[in-house]
Structure 1
Amino acid sequence: MNDVPERWTQASVYPDMWADPGEDPRDNEGPGPDGELETLRSVLRDFRLTLEMKCQGLDPEQLALRSVPPSTMSLLGLVRHLAEVERDWRNWVVPGEPEARLYGARDADFDGAEGSRALVDGAFADLAREQAATDAVLEGFSDLGTRVGEDRNSVRELWIHRIEEYARHCGHADLLRERVDGRVGQ
């Protein structure tokens, strides 16, 4: 007996996919959106949905399951981390004192990701709130070339960095989910 789950998928049309095309909420059919900003929004939306899909159907203990020692990475830790990242990107743009970290000192987003319903519910609420707040700030700039914040980053750069962050962590989420219950797919 071993603790490695058997690999599986719910997809039946393409067995290497997470979900069959007709059941996948991400925008994968037809031509892509018109325009740069609409493309950035669409790609970010799809990565956010991917993370959400990778977490669905798991209980708090499964969401908090760490990958492999000494890593502290878990799906719940990723949710908390991305909430923290959304706040951090917004802090780069909004003038004045930055908002405090959500979970405390460096790596507390991962270290404090324990399997309780209250922590899970709080993490997903934090993520939704921070995403909406950062989206609202960036939507205030119609010109993606606008330089913002102390570092004078372009709004375009901030959109792309957010996409990059979600893309990297969705790759982690693929492996974490497979480790939790064996479910595979893009």
Structure 2
Amino acid sequence: MSDVPERWSRASVYPDMWADPDEDPRNSGGVSPDGELATLQEFLTGYRLTLRMKCEGLEPDQLARRSVPPSTMSLLGLVRHLAEAERDWRNWILPGDPAPKLYGADDGDFEGAVAEQELVEGAFADLAREQAATDAVLDGYPDLGARVGRDGNSVRELLVHRIEEYARHCGHADLLRERIDGRVGQ
């Protein structure tokens, strides 16, 4: 007997995909957007959706499962980490004292990711709220070359950094999800 799940995909058109193209919310079905800002925003939206898709249909104990010991990484930890990262990016931009950490110091985002329904719901609510708040701040800077915050980062740099962070963690989510229930796909 083994605790290694069998690999599977819900997709039937392209079996290496997460979902069939007609059911994939990331598939706009149209041409790519015009302009650099719209393109960056579309990539960010796609990675955000990918993270949510990798978490869909799982119970709290599955979301909190640390699939690669001794790592503290879990899908729920990733959700909490990205909520924290959104807050950090906003802290880089806004003047004044930074907003406090959501989950405490050090690795509280991962360490505190435990299998409780209320905590899971709170983490997804935190992520949505922090994403919307950071988006709202950056919407005030349509010029990608604008320098913002104490460090004078360009808006372009902040957007690309956000995309990079989500993309990297979606790769982690691929492996974590496959280890939980065997589901694969991009």
TM-score by length of 2: 0.98
> Identity of aligned pairs, percent?
75
Identify the range of structure 1 (152-161 vs 29-38) with the bigger mean alpha-carbon deviation: 29-38
- What is the correspondence of 1:35-184 to structure 2 with a 5 Å cutoff? 35-184=35-184
- Rounded Cα–Cα distance in structure 2 between residues aligned with 1:163 and 1:112: 25
Could you tell me how far 1:69 is from its partner in structure 2?
1.2
| Cα drift, residue 98 of structure 1 | 0.2
Q: Pairwise CA RMSD of aligned residues?
A: 0.7
* Distance of 1:101 and 1:5 partners within structure 2: 36
Amino acid at match of 1:97: D
Partners of 2:148 and 2:120 lie apart in 1 by 33
Unaligned runs of 5+ in 2: none
Q: Counterparts of 1:29 and 1:170 in 2: how far apart (Å)?
A: 22
Counting matched residue pairs gives: 186
Aligned partners of 1:159, 1:135: CA distance in 2, in Å? 10
Q: In the aligned structure 1, how far is the partner of 2:130 from the partner of 2:32?
A: 26
Residue identity opposite 1:44 in structure 2: L
Structure 1 residue 28, shift from structure 2 partner:
5.3
Post-superposition offset of 1:142: 1.6
Report how far residue 155 of structure 1 moved. 0.5
Partner of 1:8: helix, strand, or coil? coil
Shift of 1:67: 1.7
Amino acid at match of 1:90: R
1:121 alignment partner AA: E
1:2 matched to 2:2? The reply is yes
1:29 to partner: Cα distance: 3.1
